């Protein structure tokens, strides 16, 4: 009988360990996004970045007649999709009229500006001090 009780305790301990491992892996997955509100004072928009891929989306509250409202989300458009694997974060400026945010590559220091254009989030090409950017536009 004691042997069987010992087996049960070991089995229960193993099951608890597996369950704890699943909880930890779930917490790791849940921590894979970062959220930042747009700095614009009269805009209820929040941006989300996937910390591993750099993909950016945005959501905001929208009015809808005869309801409590709706959540409007804008998926990734040009430049806002997955980037090279790295560690990404979002930074909002303190400019009260700015609707976009900076996507920052924590490993390289490269940055891009992301904002909603039409029905999607778009981001400028990543730039870094000393990097070659696009050629400046000529005078008309």
Q: What is the C-alpha separation between 131 and 126, in angstroms, rounded? A: 9
DSSP string, 109-129: --EEEEEEETTEEEEPPPB-T
Q: Provide the whole-model pTM.
A: 0.69
DSSP string, 68-92: S-EEEEEEE-TTTS--SSS-EEEE-
* pLDDT the model gives residue 132: 54
pLDDT band, very low/low/confident/very high, at 134 (cuts 50, 70, 90): low
What does the pLDDT look like over 52-82, one tens digit per residue?
A: 999 999 999 998 888 899 999 999 999 999 9
Cβ atoms of 105 and 62 within 8 Å: the answer is no
* pLDDT the model gives residue 24: 44
Neighbours of 27 (CB within 10 A): 9
CA torsion angle for 49, 50, 54, 56 (degrees, to 10)? -40
Q: Which residue, 64, 65, 82, is CA-closest to 121?
A: 82
DSSP string, 49-68: EETTT--EEEEEEE--TTSS
DSSP 94: S
Residue keyed to tokens 């929040």: 46
pLDDT band, very low/low/confident/very high, at 97 (cuts 50, 70, 90): confident
């Amino acid at each position: 009988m004691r042997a069987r009780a010992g087996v049960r305790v070991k089995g229960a301990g193993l099951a608890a360990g597996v369950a704890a491992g699943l909880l930890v892996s779930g917490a790791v997955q849940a921590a894979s996004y970062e959220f930042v509100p747009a700095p614009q004072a009269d805009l209820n928009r929040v941006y989300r970045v996937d910390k591993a891929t750099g993909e950016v989306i945005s959501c905001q509250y929208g009015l809808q007649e005869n309801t409590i409202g709706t959540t409007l989300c804008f998926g990734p458009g040009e430049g806002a999709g997955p980037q090279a694997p790295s560690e990404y974060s979002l930074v909002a400026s303190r400019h009260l009229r700015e609707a976009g945010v900076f996507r920052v590559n924590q490993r390289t220091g490269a940055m891009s500006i992301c904002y909603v254009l039409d029905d999607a989030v778009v981001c400028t090409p990543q730039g870094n001090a000393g990097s070659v950017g696009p050629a400046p536009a000529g005078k008309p």
